[in-house]
Amino acid sequence: MSFPERPARIGFLLSQLGAMAADSFATKTKELGITPAEAGVLRIIGHQPGINQSDLAVKLGAAKSRVVALIDSLEAAGFAARSRSMRDRRNQELRVTESGRSLLSRLRSAAEAQEVEIADGLADADRAKLYELLLRLSAMHGLDADVHPGYTEPSAASTAE
Amino acid sequence: MSFPERPARIGFLLSQLGAMAADSFATKTKELGITPAEAGVLRIIGHQPGINQSDLAVKLGAAKSRVVALIDSLEAAGFAARSRSMRDRRNQELRVTESGRSLLSRLRSAAEAQEVEIADGLADADRAKLYELLLRLSAMHGLDADVHPGYTEPSAASTAE
DNA sequence: TATTGTTATACTCTATAACTATA
DNA sequence: TATAGTTATAGAGTATAACAATA
């Protein structure tokens, strides 16, 4: 059948494994009633209470209108709340509710469970090394430890070769 | 500002870096006139000439109708061709054209360039170790060295926590 | 006039279901 | 009847542009 002219490369493996990880996390957030994008937003708001929608949009690399929809969902579900800033009434200050904080805690548990699923077959030393290398790669490329952009310009998600 | 209660985990880093890798590859395929999904299909056809659309759909984990659209594009661009099987006239046998084969070669170059971009900051030994660990993870999870599913069930792409 | 947030709209990706032709 | 492929349609996710309130 297929003849492996060359083994897959790091870039391919990263996007393949990254898609798998994203997928498995999506399954878990779905059980908790939110999407991965909403979970990411909730986490940022938790870390930066009072952030406004514009700054959040910049941080996410998303359009302002996208943020409106995300916050609408989180607010409707009772996980986050808007409040007009008293210093500049154009701003909506975003905060996590009590219920949202409890959800964040469950999301952390889900992420820990996922961690086991993904790297369970590796010996401790290998897992530690992998973690270190990925962290260095992420830092080298200036990726924000808080943000997972999803992706930016080119629409597509899958990849190859 | 943000307080790093816990460092990002392997799952998060994988999906973050995977999205970055997918993104950078998408930029490159765009310059070559195709999408990453089309590039992946072209590669599979190149490895398995004569494969039909049903089997391709299974391999991709995509709907049959999705394959129709992908092959339509590749055929319109002159990179792949359909031909009715003479043994079972329901089947379309898929093949890469000359032009498609030349494109595959350019895609390989693009992937190699990407490899440098991604892992250039790592020492050779670290890069080799990272490669080995990623390959083992991929194998452990039964991922096909030929296929990058993009993702399967849950629609979302971004992720977090 | 510039900025924050909102709404209206449209475009891309993808799936489901109905349909055609072959078997 | 079952399977390969196609078409029609619909639903996510996301962006752009026009708009309202505030500065």
DSSP label at residue B1: -
Is B40:A149 a contact under the CB 8 Å cutoff? no
Give the pLDDT band of residue B110 (cuts 50, 70, 90).
Answer: very high
Give the pLDDT band of residue B5 (cuts 50, 70, 90).
Answer: low
Coil/strand/helix, residue B91? coil
Give nucleotides in strand C with any atom < 7 A to a protein C-beta.
3-9, 12-17, 21-23
Stretch A80-90: mean pLDDT:
98
Per-residue pLDDT at A148:
73
Per-residue pLDDT at A150:
58
Q: pLDDT above 70 covers what percent of chain B?
A: 88
Stretch B154-160: mean pLDDT:
30
Q: What is the rounded CA–CA span in Å between residue B45 and residue B41?
A: 6
> How far in angstroms lies nucleotide D9's C1' from the CA of residue A30?
26
Q: pLDDT above 70 covers what percent of chain A?
A: 88
Stretch B114-137: mean pLDDT:
95
Residues in CB range of B143: below 8 A, 6 or more apart: A16, A17, A20
Give the pLDDT band of residue B129 (cuts 50, 70, 90).
Answer: very high
The answer to whether A154 faces chain B, any CB pair under 8 Å, is: yes
Location of structure tokens 């790669």:
A137
Q: For residue A53, how far is the Cα from the chain centroid?
A: 17
Give the pLDDT band of residue A2 (cuts 50, 70, 90).
Answer: very low
> How far in angstroms lies nucleotide C12's C1' from the CA of residue A74?
25
Q: Is the pLDDT of residue B29 over 90?
A: yes
Coil/strand/helix, residue A150? coil
Per-residue pLDDT at B144:
80
Q: What rounded mean pLDDT belongs to chain B? A: 88
Q: pTM, whole model, 2 decimals?
A: 0.87
Mutant choice from A5, A6, A12, A34 vs B, greatest count of B C-beta within 10 A: A12
Give the pLDDT band of residue B150 (cuts 50, 70, 90).
Answer: low
Q: Do A15 and B21 touch (CB under 8 A)?
A: yes
Give the pLDDT confidence of A131-141 residue by residue, as tens digits: 999 999 999 99
Contacts with A45 from chain B: Cβ below 8 Å:
none
Give the pLDDT confidence of A20-70 residue by residue, as tens digits: 999 999 999 999 999 999 999 999 999 999 999 999 999 999 999 999 999
Per-residue pLDDT at A153:
31
Q: Is the pLDDT of residue B151 over 50?
A: no
